[in-house]
Structure 1
Amino acid sequence: MKKMRLLLSKKQRRQLQLLEILIKEKRWFHLKELATRLDCTERSLKEDLSNLRSTFDEFLIESSTNGIKIAYEDSIGLEVVYHHFYKESQAFALIEYLFFHKDVSNEFICKKFNLSYQSFYRLIRTINQKLQTKYNVKINLNPLNLIGDETDVRFFYAQYFAERNYYMEWPFPEFKENAVTDLITFFFKLYGYPLTFSVIKSYKVLLTVYLSRIKQGYFIDMPTTFDEYKELYQGVENVEEMLRYFSLQLGVELNEKVLEQFFIIFIQENFYFSPESLIEASKTDEYAKNSTTFIKDMFKDLCYTYDLEIENLDEMLMHVHNTSHLVRRELFSEFLLFDIKTNTNEDFMSIFPAFYDDLKNHLITYMKTMKHDLNEEILKHMIYTVYTHWERLLPQLLRRRKSIKVLIISRFDDHHAKSMIDFLNFYCTDNFEFSQMIKYNLTVKDIEASDADVVVANFMMPELKKKPFICTSSLSSLELVEKLNAFFYDFTSA
């Protein structure tokens, strides 16, 4: 679902899609093929390519008789593409401005963005139409503010800043980054919530958006469960002194009402801070019991089908359960322009297609059974959570794949072949079985009759037709490792 791309102009959407195709597929394209895929003329495509060449110093867009291809340094990531289109979008620029400036007049925005009144009203109408295809939010007129479902507003802005800025950048000049870090660390340690680099980075963005909206007077209707969380910090030594300190540092009085709003992401039914608390709740709470029972059965079935072990079952019960309830409360559980989770999930799907499909079907059944909306983006986020949080899942799945039998032959001597095997055993994964044939009158027929999946030799064998063959006379040893790993991926994915 790429609805937020509609906030870009048609030309911007086409150029963004063009870059995504070139970067993802990493091959030569003829103009005709690209024009067909982008539903545009070759003339428009040539103009786009010229524009992109002059815009992005990070990319080398090559042209030859082979067509069009993109090249870039290993240090360049996809972020540079999305940052550019966010920066160039008038719609997103206006939405961002309204985050930092409350109650702006129509006249002021027209002057600031160099808009006629007609263009201004057309822009607002377009923004509201596109935003409301996905979020219950809109820009109110005179004064201008982004309002609506406050949970949606906060998530939209947090996700926007997460995609709009580089990961290590701090986009909130009104708030000291260190003060936000210290506040989050204080409460997370208090509640026993695990702290990692990525968790802190995500929640700094998310909760600073919350602070900013609270400071401007926007609040979310609270559930009735805050008292049990409040008791955890009210008895802490020097807590009032700490809250006064953070209030001064952040410019927001951290009273009980503000703290409720600040941590509303966790203060909700069916969210648990620890596996123990979820398991304990499942003894008396029917919903928690049904959820954990289904998730346990899912893991039991996956373990049986794929001969897997799950060392952190209790943690996985909590992760899957909590993730299903974090609708618009966790960064990248949905996306605006930069669909980074799909890119990651597609890697999992291409390497482990059967497991991916079974997991997806289990999770769909879980969502239906627990009466969740079948939200494709939450489903995607849950799949990602299982793959990344299940300890040692990937090595177990990889070991299930058939080992590749590699026959090594050298024109020098058997000792050279053996040294190649020693080298490859060290640099390649344990998914390879290397061997050599000790036979003084070895023939091509012998090689073709062997059980080898691929043959490696330091000389050419044009007669060898029935086996995949890699000639190393033009390869370095490390290039051979790269070729074999690529062969393993292609062979086991076929």
Structure 2
Amino acid sequence: MEELLESNLLRHFRIVRFLLGREWVTIGELAHTLRIPSRTIRQSIGEINQYINLAKIESSQKFGIRLTYDAQLNSFYIYASIYKQSAHFLIIENICIHRYATLAVLAEKLFISQSTLKRKIAVINQTLEEYGFWIDTKSVDMVGDERKIRFFYYCYLLEKYDVLDLVAPEQELRVIDELISEFFAQFPSLQSPERQVFSYLNKLRTMLFISFKRLKKGRRLASHDQIDEQYSLLLSEKLSKKIAVCYHIDCTKDVLHQLFFLFFNRRYAWSANDLQKKAEHDEAIAKVRRTLLAFFAKIEKSEQLVLINKDELLLLLYNATSYTWTSAKILHNPSEDFFVNLNHYHEGFARRIKKELVACLNREQLDIYLDDSVINQLLFMLVTAWKGLMDQLEASAPRVKAGIFFNTSFEHSQFLLNDISYHLKSRLDMTLITAKTITELRQQCQHVDMLITNLSMLPSPDCHIVSIQANLTPKDFENILSVYSEIVNANVTAS
């Protein structure tokens, strides 16, 4: 949904997204990749640097440009800074959190004319209508598919603010926390360790905050969304009064079902057994379950791995499809950062299972929302919740013959061999090259796939060369793994 940004900010977003995680790049390379004139990029760099504050796009006549920021920051800060510059998202946010009687009142709040506001809303709606909801200028509210509206605002608040505390007043946070506490007390099966951590509770708080705002405006989930009536939640009289004072809402059974629709909708499964029972009575649920199981079987066979906690993963991925009603990201899904910096061998694994997941989900006509952001979200859940995955990957990693030859001392060469073997013992079969001349070196290199050395200008031996520092740096390990991946991929292609 990056198209919701104004044209200049969309350009800023694409420049920043390209620079994140990279070292120096030339403006010419950036211009060619993004198809933006070099002159426009130079102008945009100045504009971006005016608002990213603690971060900066540095320029060098020799090297080009790069994005730098303090250790206390990460990519979230950069994307949040872009959000804060957008009048479009400011309009969307104000409509979510506050209630306005007329467009004139909202325009006054935003310090723009009513005609300008109407034009901006028209532009916003060109994108939103494709997703099944839009801004209605008469009610000054978001209308359309209520599930999608709530999920959109959920993604937006998490992407822009990360924590609800930066948005919600303290009084509302206290009420929401009391509500969560009473909810968990009545449904102890949800009190698992993974749900009693800040990240999960922050997401649940955010969803409840949005639901309260929508209910306060009289916006309810459609009847055909099918709330499961067998589940009921009884609140204490004290908490019910607090909710009435804070949100002017009576805590009826319907309201509580609407607040916790994530759990009370008919598709949500409370356990693997509950999922199996639901699948026996609902073919749409059965198809999703069968598809995920087929995907699991496929990757176990193709990757020669074992899904130790298969039932847990099945439930996790299935439930994610039951509450993902539209795109899982607007500008940036933080979960996708996980895959950006995977080492090369693990990157290949993630790429292969993503391809298989897409193939399996597209093979059937499933009643779920799918796009690349949702696929990445499901993949993140799978990889991070798969017990013992990293150990299995390391154990099954192809081994490459590597020799080490340093023009320093025998002791230093042995030290480096031990250091590299310690960190990469599952990837490299290390040996010390004992050549006394360059001619002997070339001969001995015929027996290894990779030579690790501090010599930069060696006459090309018959193997891959990685030149590293006298003391290994993270960049050196990255280079070794890059060459390792190149060798492994070449072997796979040849076979």
Range class of TM-score, shorter chain: 0.7 to 0.9
Change in CA separation of 1:169 and 1:428 when aligned onto 2, cut-off 3 Å: farther
Moved more, 240-249 or 390-399: 240-249
Residue 385 of structure 1: aligned partner: 381
Q: CA deviation at 1:246?
A: 5.6
Equivalent pair of 2:159/2:333 in contact (CA under 8 Å): no
Match runs of 1:400-439 below 5 Å: 400-409=396-405, 416-428=412-424, 430-437=426-433
Q: Who is 2:255 aligned against? A: 258
Residue of structure 2 equivalent to 1:17: 14
Cα RMSD, aligned residues only: 3.2
What per-residue deviation string (whole Å, max 9, x for no partner) do you get for residues 400-440 of structure 1? 33223222345666555444333333333522222225678
Q: 1:60 to 1:90 in 2, by over 3 A?
A: closer
Q: Is the 8 A contact 1:275 1:318 kept in 2?
A: yes
Question: Aligned-pair distance for 1:225?
Answer: 4.5
Q: What is the DSSP-based 3-state SS (H/G/I as helix, E as strand, rest coil) of the residue aligned with 1:71?
A: strand
| Offset at residue 241 of structure 1 (A) | 4.5
Residue aligning to 1:476: 471
When residues 279 and 121 of structure 1 are mapped into structure 2, their CA distance, relative to the original with a 3 A threshold, is: closer
Contact 1:213 1:219 in 2 (8 A): yes
Structure-2 change in CA distance of 1:269 and 1:357 (3 Å): same
User: Is 1:188 equivalent to 2:217 in the alignment?
Assistant: no
Query: Which whole-Å deviations, capped at 9, do the CAs of 1:47-100 have from their partners, x for residues lacking one?
Result: 212222333231242231333333333432222222222212112112222223
8 Å contact 2:406–2:413 — kept in the other structure?
A: yes
CA contact (8 A) 2:397 2:426 kept: no
Tell me which of 301, 305, 311 is aligned to 1:304. Answer: 301
Among 329, 333, 345, the residue aligned to 1:335: 329
Q: Residue 101 of structure 1: which of 98, 102, 111 is its match?
A: 98
Measure, in 2, the Cα distance between the counterparts of 1:35 and 1:179.
50
Aligned to 2:211: 210
In the other structure, the counterpart of 2:87 is: 90
Query: In 1, distance between residues paired with 2:92 and 2:483?
Result: 48
Alpha-carbon separation, structure 2, partners of 1:34 and 1:460 = 29
Question: 1:271 Cα deviation (Å)?
Answer: 1.4
CA distance in 1, matches of 2:371, 2:486: 32
Counterpart CA distance in 2 for 1:39 and 1:258 is 50
SS of equivalent residue, structure 2 residue 84: helix
Q: Paired residue for 1:135, among 125, 132, 151?
A: 132
Question: Following TM superposition, by how much is the alpha carbon of 1:322 offset from its aligned partner in structure 2, in angstroms?
Answer: 1.9
Secondary structure of the residue aligned to 2:30 is helix
Equivalent residue for 1:173?
169
Q: Does structure 1 retain, via aligned residues, the 8 Å contact 2:155–2:330?
A: yes
* CA spacing shift, 1:167–1:63, aligned 2, 3 Å: farther
Aligned to 1:360: 358
Structure 2 SS opposite 1:176? helix
Which letter maps to 1:220? L
Give the secondary-structure state (helix, strand or coil) at the position aligned to 2:325: coil
SS of match in other structure, 2:89: helix
State the alpha-carbon separation in 2 of the partners of residues 313 and 169 from structure 1.
35
- CA distance in 2 between counterparts of 1:475 and 1:412 reads 8
Identify the match of residue 49 of structure 1 among 45, 52, 69: 45
Q: 1:137-176 to 2 correspondence within 5 Å?
A: 137-141=134-138, 143-167=139-163, 169-173=165-169, 175-176=171-172
Distance, in Å, in 2 between the alignment partners of 1:119 and 1:460 is 61
Does structure 2 conserve the Cα–Cα contact (< 8 Å) formed by 1:448 and 1:464?
A: no
Matching of residue 313 in structure 1 with residue 310 in structure 2: yes
Distance in 2 separating the partners of 1:34 and 1:215: 47
Higher mean C-alpha displacement, 243-252 vs 207-216: 243-252
Report how far residue 482 of structure 1 moved.
Answer: 4.9
**1:274 and 2:271 equivalent?**
yes
Query: TM-score, normalization: structure 1?
Result: 0.84
Deviation at 1:20, TM superposition (A): 1.4
Say if 1:161 and 1:205, in contact at 8 Å, map to a contact too. Answer: yes
Deviation at 1:371, TM superposition (A): 4.8
CA 1:428 to 1:229, structure 2 compared with 1: closer, same or farther past 3 Å?
A: same
Identify the residue that residue 243 of structure 2 maps to in structure 1.
247
State the number of aligned residues.
476
Instruction: Name whichever of 407-416 and 418-427 sits farther off.
Output: 407-416
Q: TM-score, normalised by structure 2?
A: 0.84
AA of the residue aligned to 1:226: D
**How far is the alpha carbon of 1:137 from its aligned partner?**
2.5
CA contact (8 A) 2:400 2:449 kept: yes
SS of corresponding position for 1:455:
strand
Q: Which residue of 1 aligns with 2:121?
A: 124
Question: Per-residue deviation at 1:262?
Answer: 0.4
| Amino acid of the structure 2 residue aligned with 1:475 | A
State how far apart, in whole Å, the 1-side matches of 2:312 and 2:218 are: 37
Give me the whole-angstrom Cα distance separating, in 1, the residues matched to 2:35 and 2:478. Answer: 37
2:229 counterpart residue number: 227
Q: Would the aligned equivalents of 2:165 and 2:173 in 1 still touch at CA under 8 Å?
A: no
Alignment check: 8 A CA contact 2:295 2:356 kept = no
Which ranges of structure 2 fall in alignment gaps of 5 or more residues? 491-495
Query: Structure 1: 5+ residue runs without aligned partners?
Result: none
Change (3 A) 1:270 1:392: same
Instruction: Verify the 8 A CA contact 2:305 2:392 in the aligned structure 1.
Output: yes
Q: For structure 1, which segment, 158-167 or 333-342, has the greater mean C-alpha deviation from structure 2 after superposition?
A: 333-342
Is the CA contact (8 Å cut-off) linking 2:76 and 2:334 kept in structure 1?
no
CA contact 2:354–2:375 (8 Å) conserved in 1: no
Q: Please state how far the C-alpha of 1:205 moved relative to its aligned partner.
A: 0.8
Structure 1 residues 108-117 or 47-56, which shifts more?
A: 108-117
Give the partner amino acid of 2:375.
L
Query: For the residues of structure 2 that align with 1:110 and 1:283, how far apart are their CA atoms?
Result: 53
Q: Give the secondary-structure state (helix, strand or coil) at the position aligned to 1:469.
A: strand
Between 1:198-207 and 1:279-288, the stretch displaced more is 279-288
Any conservation in 1 of the 2:45–2:57 contact (CA below 8 Å)? no
Identity, in percent, stands at 19
Cα gap change, 1:464 to 1:202, in 2 (>3 Å): same
Q: Give the structure with the larger helix fraction.
A: 2
